[in-house]
């Protein structure tokens, strides 16, 4: 089973998902994939500048992105499954764009979706190929639907 360690200091207090929501995300992931290895996935919210720097360094893409994921090498030894890095500001912009509203969208839904997306990447899922996307995105949607 996986558990989550969250650092969300950069998220406005009123917009944080909260411990109960993160517990629900972990429970939904564990229920959807009952044979997961035991370990921790670290969820960290970082600034746009930092996520752009890391996106450039690790993916060769010099722009702000919403989420980056890094799987750990050997979780059996370290207890670490991986790290998920999220730009809250980018998530907020995407929530507005998705809703078409000027005054904001559903940032909670966007953040929960990005957390689950990043977790799935840490667990080996990808969406580069169409057949991989056909597996990953429905799983992501079903997990998010369980928690909201």
Interval 80-96: pLDDT, tens: 899 999 999 999 999 98
Distance CA 90, CA 16 (A): 15
Give pTM, 2 decimals.
0.93
Tell me the residue ranges of DSSP E strands in the chain.
2-7, 39-46, 67-71, 80-87
Ranges of each domain in the chain: 2-143
The architecture in CATH of the region 2-143 reads 3-Layer(aba) Sandwich (3.40)
Closest CA to 1 of 31, 22, 45: 31
What confidence tens digit (pLDDT) does each residue in 21-66 have?
999 999 999 999 988 888 999 999 999 999 999 999 999 999 999 9
């Amino acid at each position: 089973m996986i558990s989550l360690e969250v650092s969300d200091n950069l998220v406005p207090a009123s917009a944080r998902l909260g411990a109960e929501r993160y517990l629900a995300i972990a429970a939904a992931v564990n229920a959807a994939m009952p044979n997961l290895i035991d370990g921790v996935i670290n969820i960290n919210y970082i600034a746009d500048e930092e996520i752009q720097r890391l996106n450039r360094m690790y993916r060769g893409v010099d722009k702000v992105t919403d989420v980056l994921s890094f799987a750990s090498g050997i979780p059996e030894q370290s207890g670490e499954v991986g790290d998920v890095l999220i730009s809250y500001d980018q998530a907020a912009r995407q929530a507005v764009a998705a809703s078409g509203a000027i005054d904001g969208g559903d940032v909670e839904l966007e953040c929960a979706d990005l957390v689950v997306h990043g977790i799935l990447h840490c667990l080996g899922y990808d969406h580069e190929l169409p057949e991989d996307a056909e597996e990953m995105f429905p799983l992501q949607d079903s997990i998010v639907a369980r928690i909201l």
